Amino acid sequence: MDSREDSRTRAYAWIVTNLPSDARILLDEYGPILQPGPAAVARERERLEGLPEGEAFTRHQRARLDLLDRHPAPDGMDFEELAHPSWRSKEADEARLRRTLHSRSSSNPMKVRRPRTLDEYRAAGFRYVITNTEAQSRYRQEGAEKAFPSFVRFYRELEALEPLVTVDPAEWRGKGPVVRVYDLR
């Protein structure tokens, strides 16, 4: 067993200590794992209403959201999670991904699955983006620009910004991906 501290654990501690819990966050899939606050729970509830009941990722979501309403996480944050279409060989629009059973059962449809531009995120009230090298690595491969243009564009836009903080496990001989937090202001 590898007992080294994971970068996502260290990033999580920094995030809940340093970011306002009501600031809107876009969180890249593969961590760090954040707990949803009331605004995130409300958005997830709205998204759930448009999805079929009883599927792999939606079967227990109402109960989960009811529990989060009754017992809010003390460290809950206002975030949306960006999922990655790892089962697809090319990008598809969000509506198509939500329409097909195969796509809904291949990745959690409670997450958003196609990135917008940073300007669109700013206009929608997002203040921070939290990403990691595990999520980004797929879009650095040959052919990614043609197959996943919005993801390639999204990560290029982020790379043009200076991260607010970088959590790199190489700095303390830890494990996990490099996690970066960006302030969109």
pLDDT per position as a tens digit, 2-52: 889 999 999 999 999 999 999 999 999 988 999 999 999 999 999 888 788
Give me the domain span that covers residue 43: 7-183
Q: For residue 117, is it within any domain?
A: yes
Q: Determine the Cα–Cα distance for residues 138 and 148; give it in Å rounded to an integer.
A: 9
- Using the predicted structure, report yes or no on whether residue 165 has a pLDDT greater than 80: yes
Evaluate whether 135 touches 84 at the Cβ level (below 8 Å): yes
In a domain, 1, yes or no: no
Give the pairing of strands 179-183 and 165-167.
Answer: antiparallel
CB atoms within 10 A of CB 17: 8
Residue 79 resides in a domain: yes
**Predicted structure pTM score:** 0.89
| 159 within some domain | yes
Q: pLDDT tens, 87-135? A: 556 676 666 666 666 666 666 777 888 899 999 999 999 999 999 999 8
Question: How many domains would you assign to the chain?
Answer: 1
- Residue 154 maps to a domain: yes
